[in-house]
Amino acid sequence: MSETKAVNVLFLCTHNSARSILAEACLNHLGKGRFKGFSAGSSPRENQQPNPVALEVLQRAGIATEGLHSKSWDVFASPDAPVMDLVITVCDNAAGEVCPYWPGQPATAHWGYADPSEVQGSPEQRFDAFRQTLHLMRRRLELLVNLPEHNLNKLMLEKSVRALAAT
């Protein structure tokens, strides 16, 4: 990878409303042009929107939410879609599904996170679940964006990102 080309990372989840949205926004915040985050869902519901609690958590963390929207992973399998260097599933359901063919055969990894939108309880408890998920993602994403340049070729990238799943 050249130093001028951003590493395109696609985060996948089932509905593309919480975990994948959090990861996309956080990577774009941390990536400083070196990484570009995208997100999609394997089966977003009709008229799916990002979870409002996810957007609130991002905003309170100082992370931009403009342009975030739920979409199907089919968008990224089309010929005019940006070519992904890395595809990371962030929920166990999406990890077990047969993914479409990704142009360029990107490196892949699975980083499983519990679904914060399934937490029942007070608004504060729900907010804390999303905040905790963002915190866990941010730790891994900070390690990703700080990988040395030589770790960003396809084989090393896949190995490095899969190792981050254990952190």
In degrees rounded to 5, what are phi and psi of residue 65?
A: -120, 0
Give the pLDDT confidence of 108-164 residue by residue, as tens digits.
Answer: 888 999 999 999 999 999 999 999 999 999 999 999 999 988 888 776 887 888 888
Give the pLDDT confidence of 74-110 residue by residue, as tens digits.
Answer: 898 888 899 999 999 998 665 555 566 666 788 888 8
Cα maximum dimension of the chain:
48
User: 138 lies in which domain range?
Assistant: 7-154
In degrees rounded to 5, what are phi and psi of residue 66?
A: -60, 135
Q: In this structure, is residue 22 part of a structural domain?
A: yes
Q: Domain holding 82: CATH number?
A: 3.40.50.2300
Q: How many domains does the structure of the chain reveal?
A: 1
